Amino acid sequence: MQKNSNSKKNSTHLELAKLGKIFFKEKKFFDFYSKHKKSSFEAIKNINLKIEKNTFVSIIGPSGCGKSTLLNLIAGLQAPTSGKIIIDGLAIKGPGPDRGVIFQNYALMPWLTTIQNIEFALNTVFPEKTKPDIKERAINYLRMVGLEKASNKFPKELSGGMKQRVAIARALSINPNMLLMDEPFGALDALTRSYLQEELLSIWRKNKVTVVLITHSIEEALLLSDKIILMSSGPSATISEEISVDLDRPRDRQNIEQDPKYLKIKMRLEKHLLRETRAVEEVT
Ligand SMILES: Nc1ncnc2c1ncn2[C@@H]1O[C@H](COP(=O)(O)OP(=O)(O)OP(=O)(O)O)[C@@H](O)[C@H]1O
């Protein structure tokens, strides 16, 4: 049996230090005479976290607590209001090819074919590469997710699962060392979801990437992760707990639920989510 991936880890890949994000809203015309010109909403506050290289981390928390905000900050798509995001020892200042991002809604360009979607990303990240090199690389990644034959199809001709496989191929093709995934399988049926979970695990094992996955599914987090980060309810959400998932790999989805260690963590996660979701309901 393969050992838990702890053996692959060697140093901190991602560090979040006192990270916070406040959204400022411009006041509308009818608010003109009010005292303050802007209102604000503190989504996340004082997030501190260290993630080792090649770790598979999931982030779980009540709906609307700030998970996507956190992922967007790590991706460099939004700027933090306070604190730092440090990758391999350096504070990031924006997006970079070291991070591949995958969203729930695939984010493919509808006017480009499957292969052109991947080529577009490759041309942006590797402008020095020749056209044939880019094409070959794009085909290799499509082959990796079993979609070589769909290379000339447009996104509208693909199923949800196929679109998400293209998004995964595109994110991996730029050779990132971190994959940031925001509910990537949330819109898929159960069978496609479990198929893509297996595919993601195999890609993670082969490519040695650090994965940060946002999920609403406790079962998904337990099946895939080395570590689960629990977020508190917002506003001003923060990290409540970090749980190590010390279960052997590969994990068998049929039998894992019999494992007392699995059941113990599952119960802890359920309790947390219930408590934090109630806290949201009491505020609203
Ligand atoms: N651009 C923005 N301007 C103002 N408020 C925002 C903005 N983006 C997010 N928020 C608010 O920040 C909070 C966190 O949102 P976010 O989407 O990060 O939560 P989430 O945990 O990912 O939600 P879900 O679980 O429903 O996907 C929410 O209250 C949301 O309304």
The pLDDT value given to residue 203: 86
The pLDDT value given to residue 191: 87
Is residue 158 a contact partner of residue 114, using CB atoms and an 8 Å limit? yes
Work out the average pLDDT over 18-42.
76
User: What's the CA dihedral at 169, 178, 238, 240 to 10 degrees?
Assistant: 100
What is the arrangement of strands in the sheet containing 90-91, beginning at the earlier edge strand?
Answer: 38-52, 12-26, 82-87, 90-91
State the pLDDT confidence band at 166, using cuts at 50, 70 and 90.
very high
Work out the average pLDDT over 240-265.
94
Distance CA(115)–CA(134), nearest Å, equals: 10
- Protein residue whose Cα sits closest to atom 31 of ligand 1: 64
Report the Cα–Cα distance between both ends of the chain, in Å, rounded. Answer: 48
Is residue 103 a contact partner of residue 182, using CB atoms and an 8 Å limit? yes
Amino acid at 158: L
Is it the case that residue 241 has pLDDT exceeding 50?
Answer: yes
Asked if residue 65 has its Cβ within 6 Å of ligand 1, the reply is yes
The pLDDT value given to residue 25: 79
In tens, the pLDDT along 32-64 reads: 566 555 689 999 999 999 999 999 999 999 999
Asked if residue 234 has its Cβ within 6 Å of ligand 1, the reply is yes
pTM: 0.90
- Distance (Å) from CA 179 to ligand 1 centroid: 21
Asked if residue 23 has its Cβ within 6 Å of ligand 1, the reply is yes
Is it the case that residue 219 has pLDDT exceeding 80?
Answer: yes
The pLDDT value given to residue 258: 93
Is it the case that residue 266 has pLDDT exceeding 60?
Answer: yes
Asked if residue 24 has its Cβ within 6 Å of ligand 1, the reply is no
Is it the case that residue 1 has pLDDT exceeding 50?
Answer: no
The residue assigned the tokens 């199809």 is: 153
- Protein residue whose Cα sits closest to atom 16 of ligand 1: 66
β partners of residue 87: 14, 90
The pLDDT value given to residue 47: 98
The pLDDT value given to residue 117: 96
CATH fold for the domain made of 44-98+178-283: Rossmann fold (3.40.50)
State the pLDDT confidence band at 144, using cuts at 50, 70 and 90.
confident
Is it the case that residue 283 has pLDDT exceeding 80?
Answer: no
State the pLDDT confidence band at 3, using cuts at 50, 70 and 90.
very low
Is it the case that residue 9 has pLDDT exceeding 90?
Answer: no
Distance CA(219)–CA(269), nearest Å, equals: 10
Asked if residue 59 has its Cβ within 6 Å of ligand 1, the reply is no
Mean pLDDT score of the chain = 90
The full set of domain ranges for the chain reads 44-98+178-283, 106-175
Percent of the chain predicted with pLDDT > 90: 73
Of 184, 158, 6, 24, residue with least CA distance to 100: 184
- Protein residue whose Cα sits closest to atom 1 of ligand 1: 23
